[in-house]
Homo-oligomer: A and B are copies of this chain.
Amino acid sequence: MEKIHVCIIGSGNLGTALGKILAENAAALSDFEERVNMFVYDELFDGIRLSDLINSHHINEKYLPQIQLPDNLVACTDLVETAKYADIIVFVMPKQFIEDFCKTLLGKIKPNAMAISVIKGFVLNEGDDNGGEVASGSGIQLISQTIMKYLKIPCAVLMGVNLASELTLNRYCEATLGCRDMKHSKLLKDLFSTPNFRVIVIDDADAVEVCGYLKHLIAFASGILDGLQTNENTKSACLRFALIEMLRFIDVFYPGCKLSTLFESCGIADVLTVCAGSRNRRLGEAFAKSDRSIEQLETSLMGGEQVLGPLTANAVYLMLQQKGLQERFPLFTIIHRICKREVKPEELLHCIATMPNIIYHPTQIFPL
């Protein structure tokens, strides 16, 4: 039987940490070709090409210093060369390049290859300008759906890998792999798992990815409460309402998903982890304590990088607005309005205290 070729597109800290795992597992498992190509953006580090550094010293000095990488993880600066023999293409890169990368790869990869997206966030679909206030069809397009659309191959998603540092330090981590075809589940589980990195494969790929983007919004909300120095009861109430709105959001916009996915690692567990500590939580806290805009804080605190919580709140709001559902999602709606400084951060407290207490009974998703 032919060996299965794996490649990874992206070499940031998470990409490199996953590349290490994939290469080590590919070397250890007989089903896989040992060599794992890793696409590295062609840039210089201390005057030397980063890809050359990785291939000679087997350390990614720029994005994951001090971690020894296996020799069979091979840096490659040509996207098509990286992926052309791959049966499994793992995408771990900033979301803004995904459409271009797919266009470059289309027709140059194996027709029966499969993709796995570990990309954070979503693609904002601008929609069609119909002269109304909101363009119809605007809102969130799932990254896995974007990959499938442009690359014409199936795409699974891996969510819940929230900290590259914990992966490389071999501290216990869990992730959920949402797979569109469960016949590959055993193979993919073996490819990603380590004794400290537990990968659970389920078939509810869309819900896995939706949990993955909504958590940023919730972590940002949690940060706002920290910035307001509120009490534990309020924070817990906020999380409870956030989980209920998450469930309702999936029910309205992603019918056919499963309630059980909320109890997977990508659901409740990942929400709790990012609320305990993440860039979104930190940005939310800083936002509540100052009068500055999101963009100003991203510049001063986040090295100018866009943080996903406010972006998600905005995109979610666009989707709710088109269906006139803002009132049924008071928490998601107020977070967006707070981000825009239309209302004060303190309004979140009022929203929580007056939240209609309706435990949502889903009608479009599978019950537990």
Q: Is A323 an interface residue, CB under 8 A from the partner?
A: no
- Among A162, A240, A260, find the residue whose CB has the most chain B CB atoms closer than 10 A: A240
Q: Is A268 an interface residue, CB under 8 A from the partner?
A: yes
Other-chain contact of A368, B171, B234, B240, B367 (Cβ < 8 Å): B367
Interface size, chain A (Cβ < 8 Å): 46
Other-chain contact of A357, B200, B231, B272, B353 (Cβ < 8 Å): B200
List A residues 179-238 near B (Cβ within 8 Å): 195-196, 198, 200, 230-237
Q: Is A352 an interface residue, CB under 8 A from the partner?
A: yes
Contact A359 B260 (CB under 8 A): yes
List A residues 247-293 near B (Cβ within 8 Å): 259-260, 263-265, 267-270, 272-273, 276-277
- Among A232, A267, A357, find the residue whose CB has the most chain B CB atoms closer than 10 A: A232
Contact A233 B362 (CB under 8 A): no
- Among A232, A233, A235, A357, find the residue whose CB has the most chain B CB atoms closer than 10 A: A233
Chain B residue at smallest Cβ distance from A264: B359
Measured between beta carbons, the chain B residues less than 8 angstroms from A231 are 166, 171-172
Measured between beta carbons, the chain B residues less than 8 angstroms from A362 are 368
Say whether, besides A232-B277, A367-B368, A368-B368, A269 and B172 are in contact (CB < 8 Å): no
In the complex, A153→B368 CA distance in Å?
Answer: 35
Contact A173 B269 (CB under 8 A): no
Chain B residue at smallest Cβ distance from A357: B200
Nearest chain B CB to A40's CB is how many angstroms away? 27
List A residues 36-63 near B (Cβ within 8 Å): none
Contact A172 B230 (CB under 8 A): yes
Q: Is A243 an interface residue, CB under 8 A from the partner?
A: yes
Task: Identify the 7 closest CB pairs spanning chains A and B, nearest first.
Answer: A236-B269, A236-B272, A260-B359, A240-B269, A367-B367, A236-B273, A171-B231
